Structure 1
Amino acid sequence: MSKIHVTQVKRVLDELYSQLIETDTNKNEQDQKSIFYTRSLAAYTVKMLSNATNLESVDSVTDGYGDNGIDFIHIDNESKRLIIGQSKWTHEGQKSPELGDILKFIKGFNELINGDYDNFNKKITGLSNEIEGLVSDSQCKLVAVIVYSGVQPISKEIKKELDDLKGDYNDVSELLDYKVVDLKKIYQSIPYVGQGLPINANLFINNYGKIEEPYTGLYGRVDASEIYNLYHEFGEFLFEKNLRKFITDSNINESVQTTLVESPENFWYFNNGITVLCNKLNGAPKGANSKSGTFALEGINIVNGAQTVGNIFRAKERGADISKASVMIKVISLDECEDDIFADEITKSTNSQNRILSKDFITLDNIHKRLYKEIKLFNYKYLYKTGDVHDSNESSFSFEAAAISLACADENIRFAMLAKTSVGKLWDDINKPPYSILFNSKTTGLRVLRSVRISSLVDKELEKIGWLHGKLPQHSNRFMLHMVFCYLPKNKFDDPDFQFNFYEDSISKNFRSFFTSIKQQMDILYPAAHIYHFFRNGSKCTHLKNVVLKTIQNPFHTD
């Protein structure tokens, strides 16, 4: 029966994209149809996975000569996601992609992330600045997508290749996720993505209260199991108007899921809750008491709390007992709103209010008050509080700069890689490593200052040689800084009489040749390495570090 489903999907694609998708007029009619549905399926998938409009989703299509296996690229700067995918259309609705096609996609994916655009068409190369800008952001998440109009599952060989791709990028932190979207998932999405039908559902709300003016609203407590069932049925279509859809991996999500697993009864106390907009809110039925009742919501959109909903779903899928967990909910009816302005204001406001980030908690650690005073003795200002402003008339540096510098100075290369890939994990918990290793009673202001100065110096030297080595200085910056620290007498950084300036001068004179020597070793060990994720791979970087320390004598010694 899959052919019937293909026909219905084709009808939706025709309605959405028949006037927007270009095909090659030099091809015969059958080939033109295949090209149209391949490209429209690519656009539809972007629309399904993001908040893109029809025009934006079409603009994301890159299918054509020189696409190097990449059929669509969507740059989502709001959610910090780079969505890259391959689209395969089959009229019969049966076949899954061939292994060769997936290998081509993976090769193209790696080259794209690595900044190697030699094999790509003009449309893709035209996106290079935007891609590199997002990829260089430590909060960036990569999403690799395989979409096809068949019901057969992908082969074990293809799954292994995709798992290996994910493993390569996620060696240090959860950087990449992949999605396989088959005919069934496409078909299930049609009512909400293709036809724009509203999502209607009933929710049982405990301890509720109502607001009647100026707009009808409802607030209360809902069991986590109700939220799980809602997401299980409708998935990400619940978040059509949300500025950020569920980001599957982040420091915050790990904390949320830990609470759900270890102390679900405390989840209500720790969580900010969910904000829901609906087109119509029907009151609790007869028999409902003043504290609890079932409410019918028509046209549901969760505009704040996507992470909460997604984490509840993921926690239960992983086996957590969420029966004791509940969450605060706020429901706002738009039934009496004359336009979308109010709804847009709610969406923006609930997603832009100041949040207390884990970095803000470091101000509670008295260590930084001490470091501030010690660093001030050397005529530097330590900006460790949120909102501290750099004064152009004085020398200063931030807490983040201090954390990155100390992480790269540590013997454990994993800290340097966290500074590159997930810098927030350096201070995610001020009671645990790596933070407690980097900042403790033995950490002196002079050590911090000297580490930051080395970091700043290496950054300047990398900037000078950048034009000679393409993207290598950019992607290897934390590794190179770590290697510089490996050759310095860090045990003397606390000594005020240590001739620190001599080492700064030596780095300025010898860094370029040091960088070149490391590059030569890398070319020997990993001649086909993709630079971007090489410096995010712990085992490879550790191997290169060990070889460098054995083969390169200290270039920064002073006589």
Structure 2
Amino acid sequence: MAALESQYMTILKKVLADRFVPFLPPLLGNANPTDQAAKQLSRAFSAFVLHKLLDITPQVAAASVVDDFNDKGIDAIHYHAPSETLYLLQTKLKESEQFKQDEANAFCEGVRLLLNQDFAVFNANVQARQAEIEGALDACSHIQLVVPYTGDGVSTSATDALDVLLNDDDLDEERLAKTVRYYTADDITRDLLGEQAYRPVHAEISLHKHQKVESPKATYYGIVRLADLVALHKKEGKALYERNIRYFLGSSKSDINKAIKATLHDRPEDFFYLNNGVTAVCDQVDPKGKNPTNGARKFKVRGLSIINGAQTVASASEFVDQHPGTSIDGAKVMLTLIKAAAEGEFGKRVTKARNHQNPVQSANFASLDDNQERLRQEIAHLGFEYHYRPEAMTNVGVQAITLDEALRALALLQNDPRYPVWLKSDPARLADPDSAEYQALFTPQLTGAALINAVLCYRAIRILMLANEQMAPARSQERLVYRHGGQAITAVMMKRLRRRINGANAVDANTIPHLVSQPLDQLRQEAAELAKDRLKFEGPLAYFRNLERTVPFLIDLMKNHFGLVNFQTETNPEKLHKLAAEKKTLAQDLAERLSVAAPQI
């Protein structure tokens, strides 16, 4: 069992401090402020777990915490009336430690004392709730022990100690559950990300003249009133399109969306004939009653997601908002409803195939990458918005990050020296989710904090580089080097920020310009000087789009800027054999080793 990853520990502590600490019972001890802050987070962890397990409010969960000195190993006590269960918790908020035997022994002792109602030995937090706890012990039908932890598991000796308690016939308590409920790092990660996930859409849909296809996937298709889909759109928002490759692009940016609105305005009854229809997937679809008047059959649908047709429905909704006196009751559209999990492989194949019929870019299909949604959820916890699919964005400030920014920032952070050239000459290959280049950028190990930090650093460097370009003499080689070689220069500077970028916390964007201003000024002058010798017979645009030219330029620029002028190419037979197997050139290998050796700011 792996311990809670550092980025999720950062998110968890923020949630604990913001949402649970304010409602905890006062601390009984007088520790120094630093120790008190750590103790409060540890206490709040118990409340977080109760909140997630039982779906109770943070206030109620926090009130259940008894963690303090002399708590006899019990950190929280909560009676859940709907299930008639008394929950007893001992939690451990330590990143790398197992739940150990001494902690289990303390918990077992506390449980025995509580079941014997020996309240005099407990702290004031427990004693203040004596009547409430006595009532819970009298009313409960079940007693459940819960051990939440953030470390890498529970020691064997700890489980043995707990088993002794649970199987102690002398305890004479048949209501005590025979198994401990463990709440692990995986549970924490799932529940934290789940807070930022779009809620599943459940709805009733009426289909006219419907038909059914039984296999390979149960599919219903028929005619639906466009007004019904508009109503669903207004109720559910983006959750209705969770697996679509694009959100609504806005009618002003799409001729298709303009045409949809024009048809609704002039000939709503013709809409069915002029539209390709809407496709949706769902987890479950069940036929219900039939309307005796118009013959429409109702379907109860769970986990609904429109995967093709977002522009149709959203444009119609926008039209209704803009023309409140105009009816679209005559507009109908073909709806195909496929029973297939949207996140499953079949659902993704359908999404991709249906959207390939539209004018879309390969980057749009990043929306089918589950990794992107994980990153969005992590980033949301850190106070930023990540827009990894095209949409009409309302927030374009510093807290909003786009897929294009993420691609560029991560590409320039790579050790592989070809990425700055690809950004200049062939950016599409980096945006294609099926390409090896894209997959090297968006790995499962990439954290939301690292993505935020990479983008913030990239932005700061680019702003400074643009300023330097504007200050360079007009039509000079220096200005053109900054313009066309800016990706290469930025890539070198990004290597010096790797340690900060890969931290568990989001960096303060205001500190980055001050941090990089002086070294970047030195770097861009070094690049301009190097270009004087290298670009005598070729323009900067052509030069920095050429791998054979740019990679040696990067090597010499890194050697000079990093103070590694004696860094040499390795040509021993073992190394050459390894490079041949990896299909790497000597120059590429040297550039990658220089990148790894970059001195950190």
* TM-score after normalising by structure 2: 0.33
* TM-score after normalising by structure 1: 0.36
Determine which structure has more spread, i.e. the larger CA radius of gyration.
2
The one of the two structures with greater contact order (alpha-carbon pairs below 8 A, sep at least 6) is 1
